Amino acid sequence: MAVADLASAMMLIAYGEVKFKGKPAPHMPPQSLSCFDQTIPVPQTRFPGKHEFSPLKDKDLPYWSPSCIYRYKVGRKFPKNYTRKGDGEKIQKGIVPPCSKLKKAGPPAAGGFKERDNPPNTLFRKCYQRGDLPLAIDHTQTKLCLNWKVELAKVDYHYFLPLFFDGIREKEDPYRFIAVKGIEDLLKAGDGKVLPVIPQLIVPIKNALNTRDKTIISCTLQLLIKLVQCEEMIGESLVPYYRQLLPIMNVYRNDTLNIGDSIDYAQQKKQCLGDLVLATLEIFEKNGGDDAFINIKYMIPTYESAVIT
């Protein structure tokens, strides 16, 4: 076996692509994040937000049908399955199982809030590993910031801004920090260059939202607020793309924490997705023009206008 074939086989084994006796192989430990690390390529069949459909256990009749009584037994309820006269004493002695303790049929979990696949195959990660990004992390300041090698006024927004938005679904550092901080720096120095790039940003933003990872969704919504507020007319240019952006917001519209009369000291961290979604929708409505509210209402029927008329 050649050295290249052996190396590729070891990489597949390490990342669980090869199974041993029907069981997946153990995954590699986290990378050291050094400059010598390279992300192992993932199969092309993996894409962000992929939903895995689980086959039904019962082929004859779905086990959530009203005619089912047990999860493990499919069929209608027969007379012997009902409690009869004189079974009260037997139930107390444990001879006859009570009907209330039987596992009744119910629908399977829909998985609407379940995190979906988020493979490390972003173009931003590849460009950073190849050294194509004209920046570096500046560790000399009181907090981490980016040291750009070129002036932001000379940066090609049509290439770099979608590239950085593609990296917002990264969860490993330094990819996550560079992507988020790079977007903030580019939006601050936009000066009319962000508006023409809006159509190229929809697919990366949609991929980040489709992962259904709360940390990624929270970061994406905060960047959307900054995107709308950085220049004029951006809010109106996003209105035709509400059908791609708002469905995930509708899922987490009511994802709030009821703490009664207590105080939430973590409000500044913006971890409550329900409040963050509401703030994003209000910014969309206020900056989206006359057609913003009716389009938001079409995708999120429970939304109420925040504009005082």
In our burial notation (b when 16+ CB lie closer than 10 A, e otherwise), range 124-145 reads: bbbbbeeeebebeeeeeeeeee
Q: Are strands 145-148 and 135-138 parallel, antiparallel or unpaired?
A: antiparallel
Burial grade of 309 (CB within 10 A; 0-12, 13-18, 19 or more): exposed
Largest CA distance in the chain: 88
| Helix, strand, or coil (residue 146) | strand
Omega of the bond prior to 98 within 30 degrees of 0, cis?
Answer: no
**What is the helix, strand, coil percentage profile of the chain, to 5?**
45, 5, 50
User: Six-digit token pair at 133?
Assistant: 């990004």
Q: Where are the alpha helices (DSSP H) in the chain?
A: 3-14, 87-93, 123-130, 157-166, 175-188, 198-210, 214-230, 234-237, 242-251, 273-287, 292-299
β-strand pairing of 19-20 with 145-148: unpaired
- The reported pTM is 0.72
Spell out the per-residue pLDDT of the chain, length 309, in tens.
454 554 454 444 444 444 444 444 444 445 555 555 677 788 878 888 887 766 555 454 454 455 444 444 444 556 666 677 777 777 777 775 555 454 555 566 777 888 888 888 889 998 888 888 998 888 887 888 888 999 988 889 999 999 999 999 998 888 999 999 999 999 998 888 899 999 999 999 999 999 999 999 999 999 999 999 988 889 999 999 999 999 999 999 888 888 888 887 777 777 788 889 999 999 999 998 888 999 999 999 998 888 876
Tokens 């009716």, residue?
Answer: 294
Domains, in order of start, for the chain:
1-30 (no CATH), 59-108 (no CATH), 123-299 (1.25.40)
